[in-house]
Structure 1
Amino acid sequence: MKSMYRYSALALLFGGTLSLNALAADAYDWNNVAPVKTPSIANNNGKTVYFDVSHGGVEGNADWVIDGAFSDFADALVQEGYTVKEYRGVDLNNDGRIRFYDDRSVGVNQNEAVITYDAIKEADVFVLAETNRPFTISEQAALEQFVASGKGIFFVADHYDADRNLNTWDATEVFNGYNRSDLSKYNMGGAYGDWRNPKNANAGWLVDNFGIRFRFNAVDYKQGVSGVVESSKTEGITQGVQPILMAAGATLAIVNPQKAKGLVYFSQTDTPVKWRHAKDQGLYFGGAAEGPYAAIAKSGAGKAAFIGDSSPIEDATPKYLRQDNGNTKKTYPGWTDTGNAAVLAVNIVNWLATPESYQYFDGSNGHTSGVATPTPMATQEYSDPNNGQPWGTPATGFNAWDTDTYKNNSYNAPYGNGQTNPDPDPDPTPTPGNTVSVEQALASAQGTDLVVIGKVSAAVNGIYGLELTDLNNPASHIYVKLESAQRGDFNPQLNPSILNQNIIVTAKRDSYMGEPGLRYVSDIQIAPTALSVEQALATAQGESIELTGRVKSALNDIYALVLEDSNNPSFTINVKLESAQRSEFSPQLNPSILNAQLLIKGVRDSYMSAPGVRQVSSIEVVGNGTTNPDTGSDMSVSEVLALANGQAVVVAGVITSPVNGQYALELSDDNNSADNLYIKLESSQRDAFSPQLNPSVLGKRLRVEGIKNDYMSHPGVRNVSKLTLLD
């Protein structure tokens, strides 16, 4: 991440040793060093924050590591003077690696992804983010001892059923100390004890120690939870804090107001709604009765803090791939989004890291007590609507408790890129076929191997990447992450002459800098300069040429085709097909080739008494050629929500709010504001259509032409080619 910070090459156990065996080319070596970020000597406050990844903080779509989707948070703490470390567990056999094993198995005592007091005692603050594996009794005792020693824990949860690794546990359950289900299988015994739902707000590990519990709700309120309690009642933590966005999160219930008190609540004017994927009513009471969104606790010498959503403190730079399917993760750019919790999060850590002698919020010495939540356990929270099942179906062959089933480049996976798995995944891997356009690449699934042609239009992230624009639609672009050996030739900042040149990139479809991208680039070539059909018509006969255009029609039965200019269809040229080319490129034999964008090499000649191309040596499909959707049959927002990603759409709805500042807008159905899409605006569209830059568009109907795709982890439309105000 940021170059001003040093990543320390430590053994995985802080303060431990890195054995020589760890240097061998072996499983886990690809990710064998836990990152550390350190402040400057002059700015060092002498305190340390650990971010835990030993219990599922990097599962599924979560990526709460300090050089991943919590990098902005970690960097802000370094600016405050903290040393920030990633905590992975305990190197029990001293081989320089931390391995996770299924510690629920009888007779297995090899799990090193564990929490012990000795391993974390050097930290001043321990951040637990979206923990997705339950704590053992001894781990709970270690956390209790940590707090009793005067230290602080920051519990970062998410909405109920945020079961990231599909093991039937989410952070609300793990932190509370019991599963929402009361099935007998959750009375695990042994190292864990009884984790069945006690159906009692006064029971559970979190309540016992901190007087508070996470609710099993799932609430959306991106406008920002605005009931920020005045700083004089919050130990000064809410000083400078603005309303905090909630992108599908949970609230808490205060059971003991002498131990716990709220920082941020829904105000009377807030209008939160049920998250659309909530398993029950999602929102139980509303207002302050729903309980605080963020809270703190003082129990004896130590402290704790809580927030019900990771979104407002994460950023859009995930480090790892998903463990279950190997797909790229998408994380919310909350740290820089409107409604971020950046000030709150730093204030919380500063408070947690400061030892204080008072024991409780009992009203003495200015430490005001909290307010008990009226109904701390709603009727809906007595049972599990999933009956103890995961929130999704695990991918074939994936087992959350077995790291050997994890995909390459996922956290805890045995292998990274470039390493050989002796038992490779039997699932077929896509292989590059014909060159595709940028628009086709944007519609391809994450993880697909592609060969993409496009025009270099800008540098991205300084010297580290480039923007590739579609040859026929400049509004469509994709980011390319360059490997170090490629930057000198292909990064526009280092080599300005590459700007506006056409290149062919062999890479994997992925995300880069929070945008659709290409990564793991294995090859880049300068594309031969192709002529348009109009330019080809002006070329002398007998000259070898390369041209590009769109297939208009068949010609002379199966023997030829008519190619039209992509920008001016009035210009056409006849292309004589060789016998081996007809089955694939003759529109009469293969109607699907109609409208496709082709790159053709041949000799300028005449054919059928008209300008043409003969002796064609190669033809490549460089664009799918789908024509613009029929703008006379607009889809509703709800209809688009039902479509799979990657489809071209024309959708009409009402502009209801800005999204991500000036960069996008929310489009809702005319009669149902609960159905909405996020429309990502291209730079040339923002002045006219961003509600933040142009408030007059709010409430107006808008037609959007683009590609159905997620934006900011929400259903949306991207690669927008046309916007039309309808009133």
Structure 2
Amino acid sequence: MKNIKIFNKALLKTAQALSLASVFSLNFANAATPYAWNNIAPVKTPSSTNNNGKTVLFDVSHGGVEGNADWVIDGAFSDFADALVIQGYTVKEYRGIDYNQDGVIRFHDDRVNNTPQNEAVITYDAIKNSDVFVLAETNRPFTLSEQTALIQYVNAGKGLFFIADHYDADRNLNTWDATEVFNGYNRSDLEKYNLGGQYGDWRNPKDAYSGWLVENFGIRFRFNAIDYKAGISGIKSPSETEGITQGAQPVLMAGGATLAIVDEQKAKGLVYFSENDKPTKWRHAKDSGLYFGGEAEGPYVAIAKSGKGKAAFIGDSSPIEDTTPKYKRQDNGNSKKTYPGWTDSGNAAQLSVNIINWLAKTENYTSFNNEDGHISGMVTPDAMATQEFTDPNNGNPWGTPASGFNAWDTDSYKNNAFNAAFGDIQGEPDPTPDPTTNISVSEALKMPQGSNVTVVGKVTAAVNGIYALELSDINDISSHIFVKLESTQRSDFNPQLNPEILNQHIIVTGIRNSYMNEAGIRNVSKIALAPTALSVKQALASAKGELITLTGKVKSALNDIYALVLVDNNSDLTINIKLESNQRSQFSPQLNPELLDAQLLIKGVRDSYMGGDGVRQVSNIELVSNNTPTTPEGLTVSQALALQNGTLVTVIGEIKSAINGQYALALIDADNQFETLYIKLESNHRDTFSPQINPQNIGKKIRVTGIRNDYMNELGVKYVSDISFIN
């Protein structure tokens, strides 16, 4: 029964991508097709009020999920993807082209099988509507036409982000690693790498000026393998790096490569080994691993300008990845283990977001020529070391493939691996719960019109007199949807008739549709106050697998930053709460000790965690109250500056200036012009409160409610839920 349930849900998702005619033509026998378990590529979207209109694609058509790598937006790159969504980007996974329109993108190796059926390909038409294309540890060589498509993409003013790793990171054991694929040639000069046909000659040219990458971007990846987890500290100033290094800290390297620049007007480095850094050879390096040291080793992070377009490069995935891999290994089916780089002290989180912002911005200058502030780069001496002329592996993979595994044959992949034929999830919670049940407002906004939805949210306003209401996400009033009330529902639920319903949590069941030219819910069949949150004691009595809302007091951190322990106010009964990656920075007691004894409201699935009773799949978490007094009117700027990050605050001050264009402002106390608090403005606040847009606001007094958090490396307030002028 479990497998049938899973199959039915997979079939339902497949149906969304197929025409009705083809859906109704399916029968049980031929619908149980391989790959159906995971044939819907994930998409993450920002709220309607925070959408910057730009799209970032993460490629998995050529790798990124091989070996322990899991560079997908709902796996070990989920923290990266979530950070981009917060910036307003739509983030999608790119798998290839569904040539035969069967709802599934399949990989067949055209080089070995000489078949036109390979759908895991890159074409310009397939990616042209995006703004940035992320290539993470690509482990399969590009065809000549794919290389042409990528250059056409750049020539159209778009951006490529190349994320590599150390030499010999041959994760699928096919004798290719990302440094080789990106450069456009294998380190070996054996005749077998003269692939011919649609690939061309991929033998090592033994020349720093030859190869696809260097010829188009003036830069190549080195074949080194270096460790320096303390963090590479030679960070160039923002004035030299198009502003990209603003807020960047030393970046760790856990077995990675550097690059060599041969054209200083095309490419320039952002991060180098400084004279104080003491990198070492990665312990598994096939040669000396570290060739020259210092700046002579070449940049670890770099950018390039090629005509209208741009490119960026980093020599390791470790400072970007998180510890939430989704897939199993292709070769042996084992669980993957990824590095906690996104939350490590040497993370590249801020730097990576800055890179994407730069890549996504179309600019007219075509090179780094020292004009208009676009400072040129620095040519790397010995851009191809003698050691890089030869292949220590002699054309062999870096390890012995598991018995029966063939990187070119997806039928040999183990269950639950990306591109595997089947997913075996027996004994685990259903990973695809019905998306229409008890969803948030932001999730409802993503549902297609005509969908039957049940939405939980907070009533924030009356709409169209007595006829409708506005429903917002409990934690984010910028995500809102209009609910058209039936005549029998208005007397109880319309805020104009019942002002006491404002800020109440309600559950609405109806049809996702538009109302008054806004996103809405019509044909409401059910509307009710949301059930009162359970106590920890009541939650412990709930059945496993049940979706619950509970409230309790934070007792302690659990499992470092990854969870917390919740306790009832007048009891010692506890429950373990597993935090999702996008919740840790705000709600982990390890990162925010001031949360201890704070009251939280949590929605998630009753389960076990860390050997005890727990809640997983937390979809909503809200700070109800904490230990930090706020006056009825609000704190002064100096009082707010003294609070810890993660504290919910209301602060009153005067607007001093704009910060970061229209995106923030500086707040000061009237009697203290020197202590400033940066207020990050949400998209729906900028038109009214931004001093850049409204210079007359300077000197005006405002009240701001939000979370104390750093912004642009300064003390600040983010996640602003309320802001208003004070007369």
* Structure 2 residue 338 is the aligned partner of structure 1 residue 314: no
* Structure 2 residue 46 is the aligned partner of structure 1 residue 39: yes
Q: In the TM superposition, what is the alpha-carbon distance from 1:11 to its structure 2 partner?
A: 8.2
* Structure 2 residue 87 is the aligned partner of structure 1 residue 90: no
The AA in structure 2 aligned to 1:166 is: L
The AA in structure 1 aligned to 2:51 is: N
Equivalent residue for 2:215, pick from 208, 220, 234: 208
Equivalent residue for 2:401, pick from 394, 413, 428: 394
* Structure 2 residue 68 is the aligned partner of structure 1 residue 80: no
Aligned equivalent of 1:232: 239
* Structure 2 residue 105 is the aligned partner of structure 1 residue 111: no
Aligned equivalent of 2:410: 403
Q: In the TM superposition, what is the alpha-carbon distance from 1:26 to its structure 2 partner?
A: 1.7
Aligned equivalent of 2:164: 157
Equivalent residue for 1:334, pick from 316, 327, 341: 341
Q: Which aligned pairs between 1:589-600 and structure 2 lie closer than 5 A?
A: none
Aligned equivalent of 1:290: 297
Residues 171 and 17 of structure 1, relative CA distance in 2, 3 Å threshold: farther
Q: 1-side partners of 2:143 and 2:56: how far apart?
A: 23
The AA in structure 1 aligned to 2:104 is: R
Residues 17 and 48 of structure 1, relative CA distance in 2, 3 Å threshold: farther
Q: Which aligned pairs between 1:572-611 and structure 2 lie closer than 5 A?
A: none
Equivalent residue for 2:176, pick from 166, 169, 174: 169
Q: 2-side partners of 1:389 and 1:71: how far apart?
A: 33
- Per-residue Cα deviation, 1:379-421 (whole angstroms, up to 9, x for no partner): 00001000011111000000000000000000000000159xx
Q: In the TM superposition, what is the alpha-carbon distance from 1:56 to its structure 2 partner?
A: 1.0
Q: In the TM superposition, what is the alpha-carbon distance from 1:523 to its structure 2 partner?
A: 12
Aligned equivalent of 2:656: none
Q: 2-side partners of 1:164 and 1:306: how far apart?
A: 19
* Structure 2 residue 159 is the aligned partner of structure 1 residue 145: no
- Structure 2 gaps, min length 5: 1-8, 427-538, 547-557, 577-587, 589-605, 613-727
Aligned equivalent of 1:624: none
Aligned equivalent of 2:306: 299
Q: Which moved more, 1:286-295 or 1:106-115?
A: 106-115
Equivalent residue for 2:59, pick from 40, 52, 55: 52
Contact 1:253 1:290 in 2 (8 A): yes
Q: In the TM superposition, what is the alpha-carbon distance from 1:105 to its structure 2 partner?
A: 2.7
Q: Percent identity?
A: 71
Aligned equivalent of 1:517: none
Q: 2-side partners of 1:16 and 1:371: how far apart?
A: 52
The AA in structure 2 aligned to 1:271 is: K
Q: In the TM superposition, what is the alpha-carbon distance from 1:10 to its structure 2 partner?
A: 11
Contact 2:140 2:181 in 1 (8 A): yes
Q: Which aligned pairs between 1:690-705 and structure 2 lie closer than 5 A?
A: none
Structure 2 counterpart SS, 1:175: helix
Equivalent residue for 2:260, pick from 253, 259, 282: 253
Aligned equivalent of 2:206: 199
Contact 2:11 2:36 in 1 (8 A): no
Q: 2-side partners of 1:52 and 1:106: how far apart?
A: 23
Q: In the TM superposition, what is the alpha-carbon distance from 1:15 to its structure 2 partner?
A: 9.1
The AA in structure 1 aligned to 2:396 is: Q
Contact 1:22 1:97 in 2 (8 A): no
Q: In the TM superposition, what is the alpha-carbon distance from 1:25 to its structure 2 partner?
A: 2.4
Q: 2-side partners of 1:145 and 1:237: how far apart?
A: 24
Aligned equivalent of 1:126: 133
Equivalent residue for 2:230, pick from 223, 231, 234: 223
Q: 2-side partners of 1:22 and 1:275: how far apart?
A: 53
Tell which structure's C-alpha radius of gyration is larger. Answer: 1
The AA in structure 1 aligned to 2:59 is: D
Q: In the TM superposition, what is the alpha-carbon distance from 1:363 to its structure 2 partner?
A: 1.1
Q: In the TM superposition, what is the alpha-carbon distance from 1:232 to its structure 2 partner?
A: 0.4
* TM-score normalized by the length of structure 1: 0.57
The AA in structure 1 aligned to 2:251 is: I
Q: In the TM superposition, what is the alpha-carbon distance from 1:77 to its structure 2 partner?
A: 0.1
Contact 1:260 1:297 in 2 (8 A): yes
- Per-residue Cα deviation, 1:144-195 (whole angstroms, up to 9, x for no partner): 1100000000000000000010000000000000000000000000110000
Structure 2 counterpart SS, 1:335: helix
Q: 1-side partners of 2:17 and 2:236: how far apart?
A: 40
| Pairs aligned (count) | 443
The AA in structure 2 aligned to 1:210 is: F
- Structure 1 gaps, min length 5: 1-6, 420-457, 466-476, 482-490, 502-512, 514-520, 528-727
Aligned equivalent of 2:286: 279
Q: Which aligned pairs between 1:491-530 and structure 2 lie closer than 5 A?
A: none
Structure 1 counterpart SS, 2:180: helix
Contact 1:38 1:82 in 2 (8 A): yes
Contact 1:13 1:91 in 2 (8 A): no
Q: 2-side partners of 1:193 and 1:10: how far apart?
A: 42
Q: In the TM superposition, what is the alpha-carbon distance from 1:103 to its structure 2 partner?
A: 1.3
Equivalent residue for 1:181, pick from 180, 188, 203: 188
Structure 1 counterpart SS, 2:396: coil
The AA in structure 2 aligned to 1:307 is: I
Structure 2 counterpart SS, 1:154: strand
Residues 140 and 258 of structure 1, relative CA distance in 2, 3 Å threshold: same
Aligned equivalent of 1:264: 271
Q: Which runs of 4 or more aligned residues in structure 1 lie more than 2 Å from their structure 2 counterparts after TM superposition?
A: 7-25, 496-501, 521-524
The AA in structure 2 aligned to 1:167 is: N
Aligned equivalent of 2:375: 368
- Per-residue Cα deviation, 1:555-606 (whole angstroms, up to 9, x for no partner): xxxxxxxxxxxxxxxxxxxxxxxxxxxxxxxxxxxxxxxxxxxxxxxxxxxx
Residues 377 and 17 of structure 1, relative CA distance in 2, 3 Å threshold: farther
Q: In the TM superposition, what is the alpha-carbon distance from 1:362 to its structure 2 partner?
A: 1.1
The AA in structure 1 aligned to 2:305 is: K
The AA in structure 2 aligned to 1:359 is: T
- Per-residue Cα deviation, 1:294-329 (whole angstroms, up to 9, x for no partner): 000001010000000000010000000000000000
Residues 14 and 229 of structure 1, relative CA distance in 2, 3 Å threshold: farther
Residues 176 and 500 of structure 1, relative CA distance in 2, 3 Å threshold: closer
* Structure 2 residue 344 is the aligned partner of structure 1 residue 343: no
Residues 523 and 286 of structure 1, relative CA distance in 2, 3 Å threshold: closer
- Per-residue Cα deviation, 1:651-696 (whole angstroms, up to 9, x for no partner): xxxxxxxxxxxxxxxxxxxxxxxxxxxxxxxxxxxxxxxxxxxxxx
Contact 2:10 2:38 in 1 (8 A): no
- Per-residue Cα deviation, 1:121-141 (whole angstroms, up to 9, x for no partner): 111000000000000001001
Aligned equivalent of 2:526: none
